[in-house]
Amino acid sequence: MKKRILYLLAFVLPLSFALSGFSIAKDNNSEPPVSTGETEILLEFLEGNRNFVNTDAAPAIVPADEVKKNLKNEKYHIIDIRSDSWFEYGHIKNASNVKSTDLLTYFENSITPADFDKIVLVCYSGQSAAYFSSLLRIAGYDNVYSMNWGMSSWRVDFAENSWLKNTKDDFADKVVTAGNEKGPKGNLPALSTGKTEAEAILRARLEELFATPYKESIAKSSDVFANPDSYYIVDYNRLDRYEKGHIPNAVQYQPNESLTSSADLMTLPADKKIVVNGTTGQETAYVVAYLDVLGYDASNIAYGANSYMHKTLKDNGWGAFTKKEVNMYPVVE
């Protein structure tokens, strides 16, 4: 009996050690864990804390008549980001003239943003104000808005310099109705701020973007129609509008919900110029700012579909700019 037990031990113990050794060797040869990059850290923070662009509250746009009604409201602050010369030519009463490059510093050092119910950014057309309003919301200021149509909705001479000369139908006959599929999910852009904490990464990105002229985030519809293969074209409209006609190669993304890691954000290419198209260029400027923060090479089609199929928008009641949008409100000269 003892001999049998000894025999079994002599057989089982070496086998156990061998299996144990095999298991240890397998663990040692396993792939090392993949480190989380800056963009992943930032995206997790934004989706948990600053995900405004993917909610029904976006875009944060207020009409000119609301602004006019609140001119005496101390809880309503107007910031005009146009040039000094245009501000001097005519501006809304009590508006502060702040360069877009100085906005972040202005919010931190010159005002107490929480003292206001609404802070409204005003520009020429509503597009650059929307872009910088989006950046400020990403910075944590959730009471920032842009004024619809910019100063073009305040008085006709401003509209003549902006919206009225940029509503066109030059490519209305070039739009297509055939749909295009989104690509497979890929990698996020690789940020390299040198920071490791989400808020530090975000701060570095915001400082860089506020220092960058908005014109670098604009694409002309004529360039996109001429070379659609050079861009990844995001049609940021509801599916029914997309099916009525869109730029060749454009891919439809559902507004207010599609640009998250759990939805379609990762289908955007990290290595190609992205242009985002909507109706007016204002709603998509909010989106472009968000994508720029994440490191995508994104641009906004100036004036949106108003710049190439204005009549179609007007006929369907789809946010066409017309003279009906223009008021004759007083300005300070």
Can you give the CATH number for the domain in which 262 is found?
3.40.250.10
Residue 62 confidence (pLDDT) above 90: yes
Domain limits at 64? Answer: 38-166+320-325
Does residue 16 belong to any structural domain of this protein?
A: no
- In the predicted model, is pLDDT for residue 268 greater than 60? yes
Residues 195 and 301 in one domain: yes
Which of 15-19, 214-218, 267-271, 310-314 has the least mean pLDDT?
15-19
Pair (299, 179) in one structural domain:
yes
Q: At residue 26, does pLDDT exceed 50? A: no
The total number of structural domains that make up the chain: 2
CA 258/CA 237 separation, integer angstroms: 11
Asked if residue 23 belongs to a domain, the reply is no
pLDDT at 102 over 90: yes
- Tell me if 333 is assigned to some domain: no
In angstroms, the CA 255 to CA 287 distance is 9
Q: Is the pLDDT of residue 14 over 70?
A: no
Same domain? For 158 and 179 the reply is no
Task: Please indicate, yes or no, if residue 20 is contained in any of the structural domains.
Answer: no
pTM, rounded to two decimals: 0.89
Eight-state DSSP code of residue 267: G
pLDDT at 275: 98
Co-location of 238 and 138 in the same domain: no
DSSP H helices, 90-217, are 103-109, 127-138, 156-161, 198-210
Q: If you search the block for the tokens 């060749």, which residue do you land on?
A: 248
> What backbone phi and psi angles, to 5 degrees, belong to 20?
-65, -45
Q: What is the pLDDT of residues 106-136, one digit of tens each?
A: 999 999 999 999 999 999 999 999 999 999 9
233 & 273 share domain: yes
- Mean pLDDT, all residues of the chain: 91
Question: Mean pLDDT, to the nearest integer, of 174-180?
Answer: 97
Express each pLDDT in 222-258 by its tens digit: 999 999 999 999 999 999 999 999 999 999 999 999 9
Residue 22's pLDDT is: 33
pLDDT recorded at residue 36: 75
Residues 95, 228, single domain; the answer is no
Residue 252: predicted pLDDT: 98
Mean of the pLDDT values across residues 307-332?
Answer: 97
**Assigned domain for 197 exists:** yes
